[in-house]
Protein backbone atom coordinates (compact mmCIF):
# COMPACT_ATOMS: atom_id res chain seq x y z
CA UNK A 1 0.00 0.00 0.00
CA UNK A 2 1.34 3.40 -0.91
CA UNK A 3 0.31 7.01 -1.00
CA UNK A 4 0.18 8.47 -4.48
CA UNK A 5 -1.91 8.87 -7.59
CA UNK A 6 -4.21 5.89 -8.04
CA UNK A 7 -4.17 4.08 -11.33
CA UNK A 8 -1.54 6.38 -12.84
CA UNK A 9 1.34 4.22 -13.94
CA UNK A 10 3.73 6.71 -15.51
CA UNK A 11 5.44 9.70 -13.97
CA UNK A 12 4.16 11.76 -16.92
CA UNK A 13 0.54 10.90 -16.03
CA UNK A 14 1.20 11.72 -12.36
CA UNK A 15 2.78 15.09 -13.25
CA UNK A 16 -0.12 15.97 -15.56
CA UNK A 17 -2.64 15.32 -12.75
CA UNK A 18 -0.60 17.41 -10.29
CA UNK A 19 -0.37 20.29 -12.81
CA UNK A 20 -4.14 20.20 -13.44
CA UNK A 21 -4.88 20.21 -9.71
CA UNK A 22 -2.50 23.14 -9.06
CA UNK A 23 -3.89 25.12 -12.02
CA UNK A 24 -7.45 24.56 -10.78
CA UNK A 25 -6.53 25.55 -7.22
CA UNK A 26 -4.86 28.78 -8.40
CA UNK A 27 -7.84 29.66 -10.58
CA UNK A 28 -10.27 29.03 -7.70
CA UNK A 29 -8.20 30.51 -4.89
CA UNK A 30 -10.52 33.45 -4.18
CA UNK A 31 -11.82 33.28 -0.65
CA UNK A 32 -15.49 33.00 0.23
CA UNK A 33 -16.31 35.01 3.31
CA UNK A 34 -19.79 34.51 4.70
CA UNK A 35 -21.46 36.40 7.56
CA UNK A 36 -21.23 34.71 10.97
CA UNK A 37 -24.19 35.71 13.17
CA UNK A 38 -24.06 35.95 16.96
CA UNK A 39 -27.61 34.71 17.47
CA UNK A 40 -27.98 30.96 17.81
CA UNK A 41 -30.60 28.99 15.92
CA UNK A 42 -32.86 26.78 18.01
CA UNK A 43 -36.06 25.44 16.45
CA UNK A 44 -36.27 27.89 13.60
CA UNK A 45 -34.33 30.51 11.73
CA UNK A 46 -35.35 34.08 12.52
CA UNK A 47 -34.52 36.70 9.94
CA UNK A 48 -31.15 37.99 11.17
CA UNK A 49 -30.63 41.70 11.52
CA UNK A 50 -27.47 43.27 10.14
CA UNK A 51 -26.48 44.24 13.69
CA UNK A 52 -26.16 40.58 14.68
CA UNK A 53 -23.21 39.93 12.38
CA UNK A 54 -20.25 39.13 14.62
CA UNK A 55 -17.66 38.45 11.97
CA UNK A 56 -17.13 36.95 8.55
CA UNK A 57 -16.13 33.33 8.18
CA UNK A 58 -13.86 32.20 5.36
CA UNK A 59 -14.83 28.62 4.59
CA UNK A 60 -11.44 27.94 3.02
CA UNK A 61 -9.70 28.86 6.29
CA UNK A 62 -12.24 26.92 8.35
CA UNK A 63 -12.28 23.69 6.32
CA UNK A 64 -8.89 23.49 4.61
CA UNK A 65 -5.69 23.30 6.67
CA UNK A 66 -3.33 22.32 3.85
CA UNK A 67 -4.57 23.93 0.60
CA UNK A 68 -1.82 22.51 -1.62
CA UNK A 69 -2.65 18.98 -0.44
CA UNK A 70 -6.45 19.20 -0.34
CA UNK A 71 -9.03 18.17 -2.90
CA UNK A 72 -12.78 17.51 -2.99
CA UNK A 73 -14.43 14.37 -4.32
CA UNK A 74 -18.11 13.40 -4.58
CA UNK A 75 -19.27 10.25 -2.77
CA UNK A 76 -21.53 7.72 -4.44
CA UNK A 77 -23.27 4.74 -2.92
CA UNK A 78 -24.27 3.96 0.66
CA UNK A 79 -21.38 1.89 2.05
CA UNK A 80 -20.50 4.70 4.50
CA UNK A 81 -24.03 5.76 5.47
CA UNK A 82 -23.67 4.80 9.14
CA UNK A 83 -21.11 7.60 9.64
CA UNK A 84 -23.22 10.13 7.75
CA UNK A 85 -21.60 9.94 4.31
CA UNK A 86 -24.41 9.79 1.77
CA UNK A 87 -24.38 9.45 -2.00
CA UNK A 88 -23.78 12.89 -3.51
CA UNK A 89 -21.95 14.30 -0.47
CA UNK A 90 -18.75 16.24 -1.08
CA UNK A 91 -15.73 14.91 0.79
CA UNK A 92 -12.87 17.26 1.65
CA UNK A 93 -9.72 15.14 1.51
CA UNK A 94 -6.28 16.07 2.87
CA UNK A 95 -3.35 14.24 1.26
CA UNK A 96 -0.84 15.61 3.79
CA UNK A 97 -2.32 13.65 6.71
CA UNK A 98 -1.04 10.22 7.66
CA UNK A 99 -3.50 7.44 6.90
CA UNK A 100 -3.58 5.72 10.28
CA UNK A 101 -5.83 3.06 11.78
CA UNK A 102 -9.40 4.28 12.22
CA UNK A 103 -9.27 7.18 9.75
CA UNK A 104 -11.70 7.43 6.84
CA UNK A 105 -9.67 7.45 3.64
CA UNK A 106 -10.01 7.68 -0.10
CA UNK A 107 -8.30 4.61 -1.54
CA UNK A 108 -7.82 3.27 -5.04
CA UNK A 109 -7.92 -0.49 -5.43
CA UNK A 110 -6.66 -1.58 -8.83
CA UNK A 111 -7.54 1.91 -10.13
CA UNK A 112 -11.07 2.06 -8.63
CA UNK A 113 -11.69 4.78 -6.02
CA UNK A 114 -13.52 4.04 -2.78
CA UNK A 115 -14.11 5.74 0.56
CA UNK A 116 -13.72 3.45 3.60
CA UNK A 117 -12.42 3.34 7.17
CA UNK A 118 -8.80 2.15 7.31
CA UNK A 119 -8.03 -0.75 9.65
CA UNK A 120 -4.44 -1.72 10.45
CA UNK A 121 -4.44 -4.47 13.09
CA UNK A 122 -2.12 -7.43 13.71
CA UNK A 123 -0.22 -6.81 10.48
CA UNK A 124 -3.41 -6.94 8.40
CA UNK A 125 -4.82 -4.03 6.45
CA UNK A 126 -8.53 -3.76 5.68
CA UNK A 127 -10.86 -1.14 4.27
CA UNK A 128 -14.06 -1.20 6.29
CA UNK A 129 -17.48 -0.01 5.15
CA UNK A 130 -19.75 1.75 7.63
CA UNK A 131 -22.86 -0.14 6.55
CA UNK A 132 -23.32 -3.80 7.47
CA UNK A 133 -24.75 -4.58 4.01
CA UNK A 134 -21.17 -4.49 2.67
CA UNK A 135 -18.17 -6.72 3.42
CA UNK A 136 -14.76 -5.51 4.56
CA UNK A 137 -12.07 -5.40 1.89
CA UNK A 138 -8.93 -7.34 2.85
CA UNK A 139 -5.86 -5.74 1.30
CA UNK A 140 -3.29 -8.18 -0.08
CA UNK A 141 0.14 -7.70 -1.62
CA UNK A 142 -1.28 -8.72 -5.01
CA UNK A 143 -3.58 -5.71 -5.13
CA UNK A 144 -2.51 -2.30 -6.39
CA UNK A 145 -3.77 -0.14 -3.50
CA UNK A 146 -3.06 3.56 -3.18
CA UNK A 147 -4.27 5.77 -0.32
CA UNK A 148 -5.15 9.14 -1.86
CA UNK A 149 -5.77 10.95 1.42
CA UNK A 150 -7.74 11.26 4.65
CA UNK A 151 -11.31 12.57 4.64
CA UNK A 152 -11.49 15.62 6.92
CA UNK A 153 -14.97 16.99 6.28
CA UNK A 154 -18.24 16.00 4.64
CA UNK A 155 -20.46 18.57 2.96
CA UNK A 156 -23.98 17.17 3.03
CA UNK A 157 -26.93 18.81 1.32
CA UNK A 158 -30.24 18.48 3.15
CA UNK A 159 -33.49 17.78 1.37
Q: Where are the beta strands (DSSP E) in the chain?
A: 2-3, 33-37, 53-58, 70-74, 90-94, 104-109, 112-121, 124-128, 137-139, 145-155
Residues designated catalytic = 79, 116
Task: Report how far residue 32's alpha carbon sits from residue 144's, in angstroms, rounded to the nearest whole number.
Answer: 38
Amino acid sequence: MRIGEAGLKTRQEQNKVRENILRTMRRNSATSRLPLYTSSVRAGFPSPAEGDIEDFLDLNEHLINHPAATFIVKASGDSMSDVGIQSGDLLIVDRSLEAIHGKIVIAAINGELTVKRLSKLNGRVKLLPENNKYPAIDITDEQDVVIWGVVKHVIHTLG
